[in-house]
Amino acid sequence: MAQAAPVIQPDLELTYEIPEQVTLLTDAWRRIRRNRLALVGGVIIVLLFVVALISIVWTPYPTWLQAVGPTYQPPSAAHPLGLDQAGRDILSRIMGGALITIQVGIGSAVILCLIGIPLGLLAGFYRGQVDTTISFFINIWYGIPDLLVALILVFVLSDALHLIPRGVLVIVIAFSLTRWMDVARLVRGQALALREREFVEAARMSGARDAALLFRHIFPNALGPIIVQATFAIPAAVLFEAFLSFLGLGLPPPTPSWGAMASDGYHGMDFAPHIVLAPTIALSITLMAFNWLGDGLRDAFDPRMRR
């Protein structure tokens, strides 16, 4: 090519079939549809949402109403899941518990990301002193026994200082404050890798501001792993709430928390196992569903799995 060949002016109004638009999300969706277990998880989660929404407007009995029948009554036609030690309808309480579970799960994932993503982006993008400081805190936080700190946080924030009433919010905050490191560390790693990519360099050369580099170029490209990580944070938060409530440190009665319900029924386990079984089975199914979906998403967003 000693001499550049003459170029024929292409027809600018040329029309032809434009290939189908494939975005990160549609691509991931296409792959997750083929993953049966993830799909089952997804369906269960959708059901959970539906039940939770229904429970806002309607449950067979009010979740708090005691003595709708004999206490410890096993499942029957009128009460498909039976009654608990205070004579409350367990089906109603399971439905109400679904709402609590979703609030805790989604709320935690959101707050977790709000803390972890900015810290991770800053650490990975600016490196140096900023990274050293943030990484230092990440490592320190990892060393702290999270359950203990969360317990203390719940106690201090709502019981000692009365800053936040004992409820879903305080649990979500306590959980997020002790578990933000996974997301931060993941995002930091992504940012470190992405900042060296040529398109980031190219954007920098065309005079893009740091904020534009971070939010237009680095963050969207790290979105896949972030979604996966957040999906795995949801069951952890749900389990955390159930655990706290089981210990009696979570949501105050008569909130229909699954963990509290299991705790209530546990004294009558030998003669009325349905009181414990209903919330624990509901909890197990929910946790599995989120884990399956998380696994499926991880595979779907993994570029090496591409077709």
Chain residues in the site for other proteins (CB under 8 A):
1-7, 9-16, 18-19, 21-24, 197-209, 212, 216-217, 220-221, 223
Asked if 151 contacts 81 with a C-beta cutoff of 8 angstroms, the reply is no
Largest CA distance in the chain: 96
Distance CA 199, CA 213 (A): 10
Task: Please state the closest distance from residue 245 (CB atom) to other proteins, in A.
Answer: 40
Give whichever of 4 and 77 is closer to other proteins, judged by the CB atom.
Answer: 4
Distance CA 160, CA 306 (A): 52
Task: Please state the closest distance from residue 223 (CB atom) to other proteins, in A.
Answer: 8
Task: Please state the closest distance from residue 288 (CB atom) to other proteins, in A.
Answer: 31
Give whichever of 151 and 297 is closer to other proteins, judged by the CB atom.
Answer: 297
Give whichever of 9 and 129 is closer to other proteins, judged by the CB atom.
Answer: 9
Distance CA 281, CA 293 (A): 18
Asked if 292 contacts 37 with a C-beta cutoff of 8 angstroms, the reply is yes
Give whichever of 127 and 137 is closer to other proteins, judged by the CB atom.
Answer: 127
Task: Please state the closest distance from residue 20 (CB atom) to other proteins, in A.
Answer: 9
Give whichever of 81 and 297 is closer to other proteins, judged by the CB atom.
Answer: 297
Phi-psi region of 272 (alpha: psi -120 to 50; beta: other; left: phi over 0): beta
Phi-psi region of 170 (alpha: psi -120 to 50; beta: other; left: phi over 0): alpha
